Amino acid sequence: MATSPYFRHINAPNEQSLVDALTRETIYQRGIDMFYLPRLESEYDFDYLFGEDPENTFGDYVAIEMWCMNLDTGFAGEGSIVSRFALEINDEASFQVSRTRFVEEIQKKYPNITRPREGDLLAFPMTKSVFEINFVEHEVPFYTVGKSHVYEIECQKFRWSHEDLDTGIEEVDEIPDMPKIEDNTEIQSESNTFVDHTESDPFSENIY
């Protein structure tokens, strides 16, 4: 049996438009300013085998307001941990962005970006942090009055792998210059006092 033809709560364009306007207004009033940084393809071929493009760049941004869903509890995830590779900050965050605002701001500038994309970055100036989009949920909340009005974006702190950063946003572009921990130089200096190094035969192999 079909639903009542007299109560069309899932097919009411006026109410859908009202909810969308309220959503936009709420985020506009109580949201936060974010920068959307699209991942730009490099001029080199995408690695079809491993599904990656190490030469990706980030060279532009679009400002857009979003609703931060971690306001009560702070960032989720493991937080700051010490791993085999020194300090790792595994903060996770969730944001909501109005679908219609996304079209107005981002799709207008990048026609091929029709929704927030996994792999793109979000710069969060208030916390001076950069997040990478891991997943975009498009069905939560579930079709209010018959239509979805927001994208819910699941992010994790960006793991930078020497992608070129020339976005014009200070917090992003200075990532390569931030303090990095490494022992390479100190190990070399200390080993020079007792390891038999020569330039042509660094490890006494008599091969090179």
Q: Which is nearer to another protein, 139 or 196 (CB)?
A: 196
The angle formed by the CA atoms of residues 88, 67 and 101, to the nearest 5 degrees, is: 120
Number of residues counted as binding another protein (CB under 8 A):
57
Among 29, 178, 199, 200, binds another protein (CB under 8 A): 178
Site string for another protein, 96-115 (x = CB under 8 A): --------------------
- The least distance separating another protein from the CB of residue 70, rounded to whole angstroms, comes to 14
Name the minimum Å distance from CB 98 to another protein.
Answer: 22
Structure tokens at 108: 């207008």
Cα–Cα distances in angstroms (integers) from residue 10 to residues 15, 113, 152, in the given order: 9, 27, 21
Stretch that binds another protein, among 2-10, 11-19, 107-115, 149-157 (CB under 8 A): 149-157
Give the binding range for another protein (CB under 8 A) out of 9-17, 19-27, 102-110, 182-190: 182-190
Q: What angle do CA 52, 56, 61 make, to 5 degrees?
A: 130
Strand partners, 120: none
Interaction between residue 32 and another protein (CB under 8 A): no
Nearest distance in Å: CB 3, another protein: 33
Residue 78: beta bridge partners? none
Q: How far apart are CA 92 and CA 78, in angstroms?
A: 8
CB 93 within 8 A of CB 68: yes
Cα torsion at 157, 162, 164, 165 (round to 10°)?
40
By CB under 8 A, name the binding residues for another protein.
Answer: 42-44, 47, 50, 52, 54-55, 80, 82-92, 118, 128-130, 132, 134-135, 154, 156-162, 171-172, 174-175, 178-184, 187-188, 190-191, 193-196, 203-205
